[in-house]
Amino acid sequence: MINGNLKYVLCCFLILLLNCSKKEVMSKDAQLEQKIDSLLKLMTLEEKIGQMSQIRHFEESAEESISEKFIGSIIHTQGPLPGEIAEEWQAKFVKLQKKALSTRLGIPLLFGVDAVHGQNTFEGATIFPHNIGLGAANNPDLVEKIAKITALESQATGFNWVFSPCIAIPFNEKWGRVYESFSESTKITESLTKASVRGHQGNLEDSSTVMATAKHYVGDGATNFGVEGGETSLSTEQLQGLLLPPYKVAVKEKVGAVMASFNTVTGISMHAHKALLTDTLKVGMNFDGILVSDWKAYSRFGGIDIINAGVDMVMAVDGDLDDFQQGVKEGVESNKIPLSRIDDAVRRILRQKFRLGLFQNPFPDSSLVKKIGITSHREIAKQAVRESLVLLKNKSVLPISKNIKKIVVVGEHANSSGLQSGGWTVNWQGTEENYKGATTILDGIKKQTKAKVVYDKEAEGDHLDADLAIVVVGEQPYAEFFGDIGHESNKLTLELTIEHKNYIRKYTRKGIKTLVVLISGRPLVVTDEINASDAFVAAWLPGSEGDGVAEVLFGEYNFKGKLPHSWPKSLEDYKGKYGPNFWDNSIKPLYEFGYGLQY
Ligand code: GLC
């Protein structure tokens, strides 16, 4: 029993302790702001505008621009690789960083990359299932581990910033970027956003963590008819209720950057939408990080208006740099842009550079190179593959019996790590080829069984004596608007190609047990194929560890995945503005959101 006096002394001590620790925390934040202030005071207008400029490592004579135009960030996307091996990637960025450090104020560079399912621009990195598969797995701990590995392998190739996670809420499977987001469910998206930001950023000063980017703010997946960069005509309530919550979670997790979106909201370009960029995000959510533009936004979405609306750093790529820098300089000098807006932008950029510890450790850790694609990383990726699979139908086919004698495997998707990985893999638009370090679904099937396995890529052989046909079909890789259904650049539909339908039909119509494994970045209209087959698995875009699929098909693991999107039954469901799930409740999906069978 503590007597009265002692209790009083203890309380005082605790209050003193709390005050000190609060002052301690306050002094850390206050110290950071003081460092920023003292640096900001020294900067010329050109140096400030330079910090707001982002270019690719191979354009604008990058080294010269860093020295003379005070570039604040370098990115790698869509263009020549920084090198062959990871050491060369690091060396290239070290050289550019040294250029930045030798400028008058020596402010270090941010190096950004679209590492959206592993460090997917580097062949040999661990490639995870795209986010739609992670939404099906719905395992936040796993997502955090995946983000941590992605951050490490990104740092190993010289990057301290990734443009990930995409936290869109897709409304319509016609959109070409459904696979980049987790789910149609705001709740699942909030949960996995938190895990992803935490996994990527961890302790930001650590040499194996990176700054994350919540994107694309806001309404990218909710455009009319799923058009990339189209019009999002949602009400404020719908934005507040469905699309903004994941951003609130990301900001609460101290996400270092948010990327503005290509679409318009009620007719205003998101890049020039001051109410949503500044009032709602920066002020309303208290976001203190970098609002970065998307591709070439200065010339595409309103020039200096995007700066006044709240954009802090501009992806001034593909010829935009000089117009951007000159335009903003003139804007400030003619009072069209308040200097306070520029100072706010630069403050945010410097704040993240300090938080990343770049002023003390501006260079990547070369010891991380040997960790790219290591077994322990691939084991996590394989677990994600297994947990992402959704079993839609199973008429006594799965798990595949160990006593089976002959299996015929059909379809180019069974034997191509490129096709099973989708867009943003090795190349921007993905690849159809096998790539370094990856395993295919066929590799996995062969490992799992003693049966005779015959691979008949285009179903031309005569294998009607097979006990089981495993037909692996689906979409070709695509990224961004190239995946929009109805876009002039492609002939994509929401159905399988006639060739893929025939692969399936060849065996179903002969009464051969047929399992279909669908490789796709979104639910497709495959009602007839599901009805015709004996078993049907949605595998999404598994990434490099294709052999993880077979571990579930042969029963080493049970199915766990649940549909992150409701599954449409017919093309007629798409006659509406958004498709069947949100606005026209009279249309019932083939499978509800959350559906998934197990053994
Ligand atoms: C693209 C994408 C964005 C990506 C950026 C850099 O247009 O919209 O997601 O991060 O450009 O590649």
pLDDT in tens, 335-370: 999 999 999 999 999 999 999 999 999 999 999 999
Residue 16 lies inside a defined structural domain of this protein: no
Q: Which residue in the block uniquely carries the two structure tokens 């679409």?
A: 263
Which residues span the domain enclosing 200? 56-362
- pLDDT score recorded for residue 2: 46
DSSP letter string, 115-166: -SSSSTTSTTS--PPPHHHHHHHT-HHHHHHHHHHHHHHHHTTT-SEE---B
Inter-residue contact 356 to 109 (CB < 8 Å):
no
Q: Do residues 344 and 448 share a domain?
A: no
Which of 294, 300, 317, 425 is the best mutation target for the ligand 1 pocket, counting ligand atoms within 8 Å of the beta carbon and taking the most? 294
Tell how far the Cα of 140 is from the centroid of ligand 1, in angstroms. Answer: 25
Query: How far, rounded to the nearest angstrom, does the alpha carbon of residue 511 sit from its chain's CA centroid?
Result: 41
The ligand 1 atom nearest the CA atom of 77: 12
Question: Of 48, 42, 39, nearest to 72 (Cα)?
Answer: 48
> Ligand 1 centroid to 394 CA: how many Å?
39
**Ordered DSSP codes for 351-399:** HHHHHTTTTT--S--GGGGGGTT-HHHHHHHHHHHHHH-EEEEESS--S
CA 267-270-272 angle, 5° bins: 95
> Does residue 355 share a domain with residue 395?
no
pLDDT digits (tens, 9 = 90+) for 470-523: 999 999 999 999 999 999 999 999 999 999 999 999 999 999 999 999 999 999
230 and 337 in a common domain: yes
Do 176 and 292 share a domain, yes or no? Answer: yes
Provide the whole-model pTM: 0.94
Which one of 120, 163, 215, 301 would you pick to mutate in the ligand 1 pocket, going by the greatest count of ligand atoms within 8 A of its CB? 163
Position 582 confidence tier, pLDDT thresholds 50, 70, 90? low
For residue 537, what is the domain's CATH number?
A: 3.40.50.1700
The string of pLDDT tens digits covering residues 170-216 is 999 999 999 999 999 999 999 999 999 999 999 999 999 999 999 99
Is residue 316 domain-shared with residue 401, that is, in the same domain?
no
Q: 393 and 327 in one domain?
A: no
Q: Is residue 572 within 8 Å of residue 185, measured between CB atoms?
A: no
The pLDDT-based confidence of 16 (bands split at 50, 70, 90) is low
pLDDT tens across 414-447, in order?
A: 999 999 999 999 999 999 999 999 999 999 999 9
CA angle in degrees (0–180, nearest 5) for 134-138-142: 70
pLDDT at 23: 57
Instruction: Round to whole Å and give the CA distance between 373 and 379.
Output: 10
The enclosing domain of 191 has a CATH number of 3.20.20.300
For ligand 1, atom 7, which residue shows the shortest CA distance?
295
- Asked whether residue 429 falls in the same domain as residue 502, the answer is yes
Ligand 1 centroid–CA 348 distance in Å is: 21
Last residue of a domain, one of 309, 341, 362: 362
Catalytically annotated residues: 294, 480
Judge if 101 and 240 occupy the same domain.
Answer: yes
Query: Which of 249, 175, 177 has its CA nearest to residue 214?
Result: 249
Residue 579 is assigned to a structural domain of this protein? no
Q: Within a domain: residue 51?
A: no
The answer to whether residue 119 is domain-embedded is yes
Are 312 and 411 in the same domain? Answer: no
Closest Cα to atom 1, ligand 1: which residue? 295
DSSP for 178-226 reads GGGS--S-HHHHHHHHHHHHHHHHSSTTSTT--B-EEEEETTGGGSGGG
State the distance from the centre of ligand 1 to the C-alpha of 163, rounded, in angstroms: 8
CA distance 351 to 22: 21
Least confident of 232-236, 332-336, 384-388: 232-236
Q: How many domains does the chain have?
A: 2
* 582 part of a folded domain: no
φ/ψ (deg, to 5) at 334: -100, 15
Percent of the chain surpassing pLDDT 70: 94
Q: Which atom of ligand 1 is nearest to the CA of 215?
A: 9
- Asked if 445 and 407 touch (Cβ cutoff 8 Å), the reply is yes
Q: How far is the CA of 114 from the centre of ligand 1 (A)?
A: 7
Do residue 354 and residue 387 come from a single domain?
no
**DSSP H helical ranges for 489-555:** 498-508, 527-532, 547-553
Determine how β-strand 390-394 pairs with β-strand 535-540: antiparallel
Q: Are residues 301 and 342 in the same domain?
A: yes
Residues 356 and 396 in one domain: no
Closest Cα to atom 12 of ligand 1: 77
Those residues whose C-beta lies under 8 Å from the C-beta of residue 357, and which sit 6 or more positions away, are: 204, 205
Please name which of 207, 212, 180, 208 lies closest in space to residue 195, comparing C-alpha atoms: 212
Residues with CB under 6 A from ligand 1: 77, 114, 163, 215, 294-295, 480
Element (H, E) at 443: helix 441-448
Q: Specify whether the CB–CB gap between 217 and 277 falls below 8 A.
A: yes
Lowest-pLDDT range of 130-134, 556-560, 568-572: 568-572
Whether the Cβ atoms of residue 408 and residue 461 lie closer than 8 Å to each other: yes
Nearest CA to ligand 1 atom 3: 294
